[in-house]
Amino acid sequence: MRTWIILLLWACAHQSVNAVTLSRGPVRRKTKEIEGRQDKDLLRRSKRGWMWRQFFLQEEYTGTEHQYIGKLHSDMDRGDGTVMYVLAGEGAGTIFVIDSNSGDLHATRSLDREEKPFYTLRAQVVNKKNGLPLEPETEFTVKLHDINDNEPKFDKEVYTASVPERSHIGTYVTQVTAHDADDEMFGYSAKLAYSISQGHPYFSVEPNTGIIRTALGPSDMDREQREHYQVVIEAKDMAGQRGGLTGTTTVNISLTDVNDNPPRFTQSIYQFSVPEITKVGSLVGRIRAVDADVGRNAEMDYTVVNGDGLDVFDISTDRNTQEGILSLKKPLDYEKKKSYMLQIQVQNTHPDTQFLSMDAKDIANIRVSVEDVDEPPQFEKINYILEVKEDAAVGTVIGSVSAVDPDILRSPVKYSIDRHTDVDRIFGVYAGNGSIFLQRPLDREEFAWHNISVIATEFNNPEQTSRVPVYIRVLDVNDNPPMLASFYETFVCENAKAGQKIQTISAVDPDDPVGGHRFLFSLAPESSVRANFSVRDNGDNTAGIFTRRTGFGRMHKSTHLVAVVISDGHIPMQSSTGTLTIRVCTCDRDGNMEMCNAEALSSTTGLSTGALVAILLCILILLLIVVLFAALKRQKKKEPLIISKEDVRDNVVSYNDEGGGEEDTQAFDIGALRHPEVMEESKLRRDILPPESLYPPPPLRRTMVPSRGNADVRDFINQRDVSVRQILIRKIICGDIFLHNPKLFWRCLQFFTSITIAENVPLKS
């Protein structure tokens, strides 16, 4: 009977809109005790538990009353009011409420499926009297039914895309994507369809994928006519049916450039003028062609394809401005050609193969006029090389230069030598014909080459000048005799044998003969008589010195001088005589020197004659500098004895003076020390002798009076006292000077010493 009741209740629930019938499932076991009790219940009855596992609720409910969800029922509820339903879980008591007596479940407010699509709740039946659970909790869900309440949204508000111009119909541009927050599994709320609302007829969009493609052919998609397009794409849910929600996005599409336009000249003929003195490589002018393309597709190349100036002018491309730069490749000459005509071609640097059928080149003509300019004279050669023998006489013409005025008037030309290149004025040039001649003798050994510059100047316009280098080579003449290569000093052993080689000599010659040097060596006539040594020419510009006898006596003759004649064998023959110094020394058996005469052999490390002369010159120069310095010092202005009045008494100098006791205390006036300005005002000059002493002598006190009969002795005493006082005063003055400047002290003493001598005062005083 119970089974039939359960089947009847299940059929009723199945017909309800807000409830779904579920088969019995396993219940949640909370504790081990409950599990044991459930096992016992299963043994007693075949069916028990909750009848409802899932409920449905419509989202976005707008009614004023609580939305009814469904009814919870347990087989423990016999309808006698003894049981009570308790709800727990997500939103229990706030979003979801249950009637504790009937088990009716309601939603208290509107819910949004896009925020939360379902809620999990738990229900339990308890005894009203004691509150004890009659059955374990069972879990169920409340799922929200979706409604079409969300419009489609694109991933980006604005898309940016590009496609090459002249693309074919159906060329892919980009793809847009939109999403709908509604449930994709429920109806068509999230089923989207794409369409284009702005951008016809240039582009189209696929409804299902959102792929945008071109809708026109190549001739209609020309970047030079229109580069930017704005397309609006619409996405509509409900599969695009009426009543569906829509969303839009903007797609900015740009046509990228292809090289579909050839360059074109802005004019068919260009004219330029250029002076004839324009330097090679200089700019003549610029021409310009335009290309509707941009970037790399607008790069172009210019070439000279025809004309009478193919070898005179050149053209290149300025990569920054894409202009053609016409430059000069060869010098111009107005007198030879006054104008040129050129044909210039321009074409793309990077042509596109699919547009080669178009006329990708353009032609223009350039006319270049040459302007006449007063040009300086032009030499026939860029440089001249002349030769002259070093013994050529003064006035000899050694060569000539020639220059002409290239202008039509053919102004006469005069010549001159740039004296900065010929400071010694060795050469001259005839102004009328450019012949170069000698003004001073030459010496090849001093200068083998002379480099001068000859200037050509127009008579009619002296400002027009030009110059040319002239290289003059001085040819050698055999005018110098050969000489020994160095000062030879060697030795011969006392026990030397005849024919023994003791030295090899060579020679030098400042001349430079064409075939090279050929020196001949021989003994001088004065050395051939009773010669102890001989000279053998080696044939290679060297010679050997050999002994002619056996044994040499060092005590008999310690030094031998051998005169050697060296000749060059050229015409005219030049020769000289050189002397070798050979010392006789004691040697061991191997020929090594053991002892020589008292005069030591000069080593090669000694000072040469030139070095000694240089040292002597340096010493003489130093002596001259010292003498000049001393003379200048003597001419300096003499310093005054006392420079400043304030410096006289800055210091105190102690000194002792011996005299005649108390009688000498009045020998001088000590007030001079207290008033130094008196001394400054009465400063003496060295070049003028004072007529009398600086200060009048104080009155004398007679201490000892000699006898009246001895007048000579009395005069001597009086004269001596006066002289002593004068000397003391002068010592005081010099002492004050020493306080100010000790360097002037000795000058002061010398000065007063000279005065004392002039006054015939004995120096011993």
Q: Are 398 and 440 in contact (CB under 8 A)?
A: no
DSSP annotation of 244 reads: -
DSSP, collapsed to helix, strand or coil, labels residue 647 as helix
- Structural contact between residues 725 and 660, judged by C-beta atoms closer than 8 angstroms: no
Q: Which CATH class is domain 264-371?
A: mainly beta
Distance CA 330, CA 635 (A): 72
CA distance 421 to 419: 5
In the block, which residue shows the tokens 């030795």?
491
Q: Which residues on adjacent β-strands are paired with residue 285?
A: 326
Taking a C-beta distance cutoff of 8 angstroms, is the pair 36, 42 a contact?
A: no
Measure the CA–CA gap between 449 and 472, rounded to whole angstroms: 6
Rounded to 5 degrees, φ, ψ at 350 are -125, 80
Amino acid present at 431? A
* Residue that is written with structure tokens 């006036």 in the block: 669
| Bridge partner list, 341 | 367
Instruction: Please report, for the chain, the start and end positions of each structural domain, with discontinuous segments joined by +.
Output: 2-145, 153-256, 264-371, 378-475, 483-600, 645-758
Calpha distance 668→662 (Å, rounded): 13
What pLDDT was estimated at residue 169? 93
User: Which residue is it, tokens 């030094």?
Assistant: 559
CA distances from 590 to 473, 494, 496 (A): 54, 12, 11
User: Other CB atoms closer than 10 Å to residue 658's CB: what's the count?
Assistant: 6
Q: How far is CA 342 from the centre of its chain?
A: 44
At position 505, the amino acid (one-letter code) is I
The rounded distance, in Å, linking the Cα atoms of 636 and 626 is: 16
* Residue 282 DSSP symbol: -
pLDDT at 358: 65
Query: Which element (helix H / strand E) includes 173?
Result: strand 172-175
What is the CATH code for 2-145?
Answer: 2.60.40.60
pLDDT of residue 52: 57
Q: Specify the 3-state DSSP secondary structure of 293.
A: coil
| Amino acid at the residue 414 | K
The domain defined by 483-600 folds into: Immunoglobulin-like (2.60.40)
Question: Is 2.60.40.60 the CATH number for 153-256?
Answer: yes
Instruction: With CA atoms as reference, report the closest residue to 367 among 388, 393, 395, 338.
Output: 338
Q: Which residues pair with 138 in a beta bridge?
A: 123
CA distance 205 to 214: 9
pLDDT at residue 715 in the model: 60
The CATH fold of domain 378-475: Immunoglobulin-like (2.60.40)
Q: Which amino acid is at 715?
A: D
What are the start-end ranges of the E strands in 4-116? 20-21, 52-58, 67-71, 83-89, 96-98, 104-107
Alpha-carbon distances of 597 from 494, 496, 580, 589, 594, rounded to whole Å: 12, 16, 17, 19, 11
- What tokens does 748 get? 């002061």
Distance between CA 65 and CA 701 in Å, rounded? 158
Neighbours of 201 (CB within 10 A): 9
> Which amino acid appears at position 208 of this protein?
N
The DSSP 8-state label assigned to residue 640 in this structure reads P
Locus of tokens 């005065």: 755
Strands (E), 266-402: 269-275, 283-290, 300-307, 313-318, 323-328, 339-348, 361-371, 378-379, 384-389, 397-400
User: The tokens of 210 are what?
Assistant: 């959102």
Amino acid at 345: Q
Q: What is the pLDDT of residue 745?
A: 61
DSSP tally for the chain: helices H, then strands E = 8, 43
Q: E strand or H helix at 755, and its extent?
A: helix 745-758
Instruction: Compute the distance between CA of residue 231 and CA of residue 197 in angstroms, rounded to an integer.
Output: 8
153-256 shares its CATH topology with 483-600: yes
Structure letter (DSSP) for residue 699: P
Closest CA to 545 of 486, 490, 485, 585: 490
- Confidence at residue 609, expressed as pLDDT on a 0 to 100 scale: 64
SS (H, E, C) 417-486: ECCCCCCCCCEEECCCCCEEEECCCCCCCCCCEEEEEEEEEECCCCCCEEEEEEEEEEECCCCCCCEECC
Six-digit token pair at 297? 């597709």
pLDDT along the chain (765 residues), means of 10: 43 38 33 38 43 72 82 83 89 87 86 85 88 87 80 93 93 94 78 91 93 91 91 91 89 92 93 94 95 90 94 94 95 91 93 75 94 90 94 94 88 94 95 95 92 94 94 90 91 89 91 84 82 90 92 86 88 88 88 69 50 86 89 68 48 53 49 48 45 46 45 55 54 58 62 56 42
* Nearest CA among 222, 292, 286, 294 for reference residue 262: 292
- Between 745-758 and 711-740, two packed helices, what is the crossing angle to 10 degrees? 160
Burial of 635 (0-12, 13-18, 19+ CB in 10 A): exposed
